[in-house]
């Protein structure tokens, strides 16, 4: 099955990002495909390379970057939501790219299921 993923919450304010990441890993381990992960609203904060969690905490941004590198997953950040939060191309973490809502619509069309994490 091919999944599209929508993440609407930031990496440390809500469980949504962790849940989405763990869902992606589990789906890939079972042989499914992740078409795209689209970050929207506060979810765009998952893409900032400026995030520096304490050493004893998980690095959510680095997790997403590694997942994209290991599995060729398209990590798309909503341009309007990103700019509102000060996220631009020059401070994106590796593996992320900025684009528009059309990428979310396309993911919904091309995937068997669009799974939403966060409000």
**78 catalytically annotated:** yes
Q: Rounded to whole angstroms, how far apart are CA atoms 110 and 92?
A: 26
Alpha-carbon 79 to chain mean position: 13
Q: Which of 68, 78, 87, 93 does the annotation list as catalytic?
A: 78
Compute the Cα dihedral for 1, 101, 96, 11 and give only its sign: negative
Q: How many residues does the chain have?
A: 119
Residues serving a catalytic function are 78
């Amino acid at each position: 099955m091919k999944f599209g993923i929508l993440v609407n919450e930031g990496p440390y304010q809500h469980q949504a990002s962790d849940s989405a990441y763990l869902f992606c890993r589990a789906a890939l381990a079972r042989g499914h495909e992740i078409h795209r992960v689209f970050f929207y609203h506060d979810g765009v904060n998952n893409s900032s390379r400026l995030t520096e969690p304490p050493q004893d905490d998980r690095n959510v941004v680095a997790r997403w970057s590694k997942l994209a590198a290991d599995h060729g997953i398209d990590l798309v950040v909503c341009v309007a939501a990103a700019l509102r939060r000060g996220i631009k191309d020059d401070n994106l973490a590796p593996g992320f790219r900025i684009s528009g809502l059309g990428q979310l619509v396309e993911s919904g069309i091309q995937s068997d299921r669009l799974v939403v994490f966060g409000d």
